[in-house]
Amino acid sequence: MTKIIFFDFDNTLYSHTTSSFPKSSLKALKKLHENGILTFLCSGRAKVELNYFDMRDVLLDGYILSNGQVAISNTEGILYEKTVEGKLKDILINAFNKKLYPIYFCTPDDMLLNYCNDLVRHVQNAISSGIPDVKPYKGEKIYMASAFFDKKEELDEIMSLKDEAEITIWHEGALDIVPKGMSKVSGIKAVCEHYNIPVEETMCFGDGDNDIKMLDYCGISIAMGNAPDFVKEHADYVCKHIDEDGLYKALKHFKLI
């Protein structure tokens, strides 16, 4: 029996086509809550980014953010966190300070951008988000870094970190960087351990490259109809497109609402 469900954010819970949360998805979250099933966001987003969206009707019990680097319960606070450390941290701070390419750091309460250009503005607009403030790095905890590239040299420079980091491209000009071995699954494991829920009683919804490990891990995995085929291959079930009430219909199919 499913006891907890993890939902990706972009184009899973939130539609960038309509710039809204589908009403059917909000209804589904409310019904899951009434049925005693825990609901957690599981996203590459930073905590502060959620302020760009009207989350008032999005009924969640907690959040796994920065691609599994931190897990937060609405009632208990931080359940788990993993920060960027060591060689990877040194390399990222050097890139940030020398402005080798646009990059921002996701910290517990902020997003720090080293510099802004047209590419940054274009990418952030594509994900319905504002531009992080350009600020110096002053030693804050770093959960995740996101970098932007529009030249092969910049991409090659970032990809050279692959021995130290997990790198996920989420836009033709942007990617996320977390420590090697980390993913959304890291946060999911921590949350399930906290609530004493076995993996067999978990479910997840996703649509992107950074959801693949989550889809492979959870007891029941559902890919959105709008996901690319290479993501759908990792799911137990493929639902309808987000704008066709896919999430709601999938939960009805599994008799959870």
Q: What is the rounded average pLDDT for all residues in the chain?
A: 96
Sheet with 103-106: strands ordered across: 111-113, 103-106, 144-148, 174-179, 165-171
Boundaries of domain holding 44 = 4-82+183-253
- What is the reported pLDDT for 142? 98
Q: What percent of the chain stands above pLDDT 90?
A: 98
Q: What would the mean pLDDT of 80-109 be, rounded to a whole number? A: 97
Residue 47 sits in a domain of what CATH number? 3.40.50.1000
Cβ atoms within 10 A of the Cβ of 102, count? 25
- What's the average model confidence in pLDDT over 193-197? 98
Q: What is the rounded average pLDDT of the residues 93-116?
A: 97
* pLDDT for 29: 98
Q: What is the mean pLDDT of residues 91-118?
A: 97
User: What confidence category does residue 75 fall into, taking pLDDT thresholds of 50, 70 and 90?
Assistant: very high
97, 75: one domain: no
Residues 30 and 152 in one domain: no
- pLDDT of res. 192: 98
- Beta strands 165-171 and 174-179: pairing type? antiparallel
Domain count, the chain: 2
Averaged pLDDT for residues 213-230 = 98
In this structure, the answer to whether residues 104 and 166 fall within a common structural domain is yes
Domain boundary among 179, 200, 235: 179
Residue 85 has pLDDT above 90, yes or no: yes
**Where is the domain boundary, 179, 200, 223?**
179
Q: Which long-range contacts (CB under 8 A, 24 or more apart) does 115-120 make?
A: 117/148, 119/148, 119/149, 119/150, 119/173, 120/148
What's the pLDDT at 89? 98
Nearest-angstrom CA–CA distance, 147 and 104 = 7
Higher pLDDT, 154 or 137: 137
* Domain end marker among 158, 179, 200: 179
- Which band of pLDDT confidence, cut at 50, 70 and 90, is reported for residue 102? very high
| Shared-domain flag, residues 74 and 188 | yes
Say whether both 111 and 63 belong to one domain: no
What is the arithmetic mean of pLDDT over 123-146? 96
At position 220, the amino acid (one-letter code) is I
For the segment 136-150, the average pLDDT, to the nearest whole number, is 97
Residue 248 shares a structural domain with residue 195: yes
**pLDDT, mean of residues 67-95:** 97
pTM of the model: 0.95
- Residue 151 confidence (pLDDT): 87
Do residue 198 and residue 242 come from a single domain? Answer: yes
Per-residue model confidence (pLDDT) at position 32: 98
